[in-house]
């Protein structure tokens, strides 16, 4: 019994520790969401919960309301960054090592409120929500308003940011390392650019003969059905009918994989696109562009 009570107390302490840097985010009509004071003056939350770019506020753990501005968004991973005059608001304790399958974790919501469970899988989530292959899949409950809040380990260190996105029956978290890379990009460029190729694609199956020729067990890829004029894809020589198998070494099995493989930090960098054209495999070098903010 003493051991169980000690464990219970440790979980409560973890929630208290994380709760110091957990805020309420008021960026949509129905109900607020949660955010994490990740770095001084920068709040991380789920992009889908910030429906406006103006009149956003955050509520601190001691009940203060602070005006916030949207510093940047990365819809591809469902992250929004808010800038606030945080004053003496504590900064979150970010874990230095990633969560692993089987780790006990706690989702912390504004209030604070908490839910606990385990990391059930990594990278096997349903696509179309955040389009990430490295999502932490969670066996716990995300109550209304939890999205954008910290996922913490048993010591209260942040290992990710929770989101259910449009598919509310899935509980997932964006890994802390991914979120930190987005913040690094914001600091480096002053914005979060959206990587852009300029192609329309759809899934296509790879025949066994072609898989053998490629030396892969990959069963699907994407076929290019549209190439936008004056786009990075056009400049690299991609044409309709090309089958994209990989981008930058990442397998591309469906259009979601292609979007997930394009990260903000890649804008301006040259990557290798592995394609099949006329039954012949080849590599194409392509410089990743930046999508217009109006797009």
Q: Please, which residues have CB within 8 angstroms of residue 23's CB and are 6 or more apart in sequence?
A: 34, 35, 36, 37, 43, 58, 59, 60, 61, 89, 110
Q: Please, which residues have CB within 8 angstroms of residue 212's CB and are 6 or more apart in sequence?
A: none
Q: For residue 94, what are the β-bridge partners?
A: 158
Indicate the pTM of the whole model: 0.76
For residues 36 and 150, what is the distance between their CA atoms, to the nearest angstrom?
A: 6
Q: 22 with 38: CB under 8 angstroms?
A: no
Q: Please, which residues have CB within 8 angstroms of residue 185's CB and are 6 or more apart in sequence?
A: 192, 193, 264, 265
pLDDT for residue 127: 44
What would the CATH number be for the domain defined by 195-290?
2.30.42.10
Q: What are the structure tokens assigned to 119, written together? A: 């990391």
Q: Tell me the CB-side half-sphere exposure of residue 252, using CA atoms within 13 A.
A: 28
Residue-wise DSSP of 240-272: TT-EEEEETTEE--SHHHHHHH--GGGTT-EEE
1-191 against 195-290: fold identical: no
Strands (E) in 53-125, as ranges, are: 56-59, 65-74, 79-84, 104-109, 113-122
Can you give the residue ranges of every domain in the chain? 1-191, 195-290
pLDDT, averaged per 10 consecutive residues of the chain (295 residues), comes to 88 96 92 94 95 91 94 86 93 95 96 95 56 78 94 97 71 93 84 88 93 90 96 96 93 86 88 94 94 64
pLDDT for residue 294: 52
Q: 150 with 158: CB under 8 angstroms?
A: yes
What would the CATH number be for the domain defined by 1-191?
2.40.10.120
């Amino acid at each position: 019994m003493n051991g169980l009570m000690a464990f219970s107390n440790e979980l409560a302490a973890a929630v208290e520790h994380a709760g110091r840097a957990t805020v309420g985010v008021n960026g949509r009509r129905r109900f607020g969401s949660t955010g994490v004071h990740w770095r001084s003056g920068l709040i991380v939350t789920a992009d889908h919960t910030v429906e406006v770019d103006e009149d956003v506020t955050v509520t601190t753990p001691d009940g203060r309301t602070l005006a916030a501005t949207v510093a940047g968004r990365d819809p591809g991973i469902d992250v929004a960054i808010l800038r606030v005059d945080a004053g003496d608001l504590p900064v979150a304790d970010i874990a230095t090592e990633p969560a692993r399958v089987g780790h006990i974790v706690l989702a912390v919501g504004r209030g604070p409120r908490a839910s606990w469970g385990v990391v059930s899988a990594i990278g096997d989530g349903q696509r179309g929500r955040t389009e990430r292959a490295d999502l932490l899949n969670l066996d716990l409950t995300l109550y209304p308003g939890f999205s954008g809040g910290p996922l913490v380990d048993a010591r209260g260190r942040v290992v990710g940011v929770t989101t259910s996105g449009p598919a509310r029956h899935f509980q997932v978290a964006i890994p802390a390392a991914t979120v930190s890379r987005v913040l690094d990009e914001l600091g480096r460029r002053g914005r979060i650019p959206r990587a852009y190729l300029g192609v329309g694609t759809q899934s296509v199956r790879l025949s066994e003969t072609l898989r053998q020729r490629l030396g892969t067990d990959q069963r699907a890829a994407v076929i290019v059905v549209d190439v936008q004029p004056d786009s990075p894809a056009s400049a690299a020589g991609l044409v309709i009918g090309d089958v994209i198998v990989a981008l930058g070494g990442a397998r591309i099995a469906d259009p979601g994989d292609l979007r997930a493989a394009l990260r903000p930090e890649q804008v301006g960098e040259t990557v290798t696109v592995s394609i099949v054209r006329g039954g012949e495999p080849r590599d194409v070098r392509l410089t990743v562009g930046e999508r217009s903010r109006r797009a």
